[in-house]
Amino acid sequence: MALLKDLFIGLSQNQLLNTAAKKYGLKLGAQHVVAGTNVAETIESIKELNARGISCTVDNLGEFVFEKEEAIEAKGQILEVIEAIHIHKVDAHISLKPSQLGLDIDYDFCLDNLKEIVSKASAYDILINFDMEDHNRLQASFDLLETLSEEYSNIGTVIQAYFFRAVEDIQKYKNYRLRIVKGAYKESEEVAYQNKKEIDENYIKLIEWHLLNGKFTSIATHDHVVINHVKKFVKANNISNDKFEFQMLYGFRTDMQLQLASEGYNFCTYVPFGSDWYGYFMRRLAERPQNLNLVVKQMFNKKTNKVIGLSAGAFLLGRVSRRK
């Protein structure tokens, strides 16, 4: 399992494969893991999910942003999504990565871009969730969060359970809306747990603590064992359903998503869009390699029992193996 995680993380950082995936995305079956290649398609996907009682958090996909022009373009796309959410009155908010807005270029440049986004979203009462990335960007991302929170209240963030500092961070940011995840990057043993059992135990610990002490908890997992544990925990501790939600990724375990929503739980689907989907998808496989099987299953037509698309992850893995 550890070897698979390392493999997927390595693939996520391969710019050559990322470029190929952009070019051939739909032919590889990318439509099964992204909600659209543009804003209009994505809004239609959100409407379909909303009709089934599911809210959405929208991620404008993008990797390897090292030029200001790219960051400004990404900002424009996110502003366009915010405007579309407002115009169409859909139940959705924004997830973004500071690196896409220029964190790797210049801190103040990134701060200015984020402020423009958060300000526009605030005017429409739309949440902006700061996704957390690898450890090298972690503290700077929290610094951006704190600076913008001095003026705006429509900000949430993510706590990654594999970091040793996660317990301290979740206590520090308990008054924010928090998405709790296990973590999807390869991190040093100096800063993060390496053992799956330890990560899982810390993940449950963080979820329970924030459910009891925090503002609002987004529990991001496809693991039915964790989900069943949370169901029992909230019942045993009389925690209202309006204090938390379950989250899953677009295209993964769709039946379970609909089931949880039908049971009356708040449910939010993480909705990525755009052509730059490759790095995102590989990190999802790194988080939980079983996700590859979930996507493949989603891509079978039950009536004809024939594959209706080719898993992007499987295809690209095949290309890598053939090159070795």
CA distance 230 to 94: 25
Q: Which residue is associated with the tokens 């939980």?
A: 288
- Say if strands 216-220 and 244-249 run parallel, antiparallel, or are unpaired: parallel
Q: Which of 104, 169, 179, 253 is an active site residue?
A: 179
CA distance 62 to 100: 6
For this structure, is 131 an active site residue? Answer: yes
For this structure, is 179 an active site residue? Answer: yes
Angle at 201 between CA 198 and CA 205, to 5 degrees: 135
Kindly provide the b/e burial profile for residues 97-133, where b requires at least 16 CB atoms within 10 angstroms of the residue's own CB: bbbbbbbbbeeeebbebbeebbebbbeeebbbbbbbb
Q: Which of 59, 104, 131, 169 is an active site residue?
A: 131
Run of H or E including 244: strand 244-249
Q: How far apart are the first and last CA of the chain?
A: 21
Helix ranges, the chain (H):
2-12, 15-24, 39-51, 68-88, 107-123, 135-149, 166-172, 196-213, 224-236, 254-262, 278-287, 291-298, 312-323
Long-range contacts of 64-71 (CB under 8 A, 24+ apart): 64/15, 64/18, 64/279, 65/99, 65/100, 65/101, 65/102, 65/104, 65/105, 66/104, 66/105, 67/105, 68/102, 68/105, 68/106, 68/109, 71/100, 71/101, 71/102, 71/105, 71/109, 71/110, 71/113
Contacts with 213 (C-beta within 8 Å, 6 or more apart), sequence order: 171, 174
- Looking at the annotation, which residues are catalytic? 131, 179
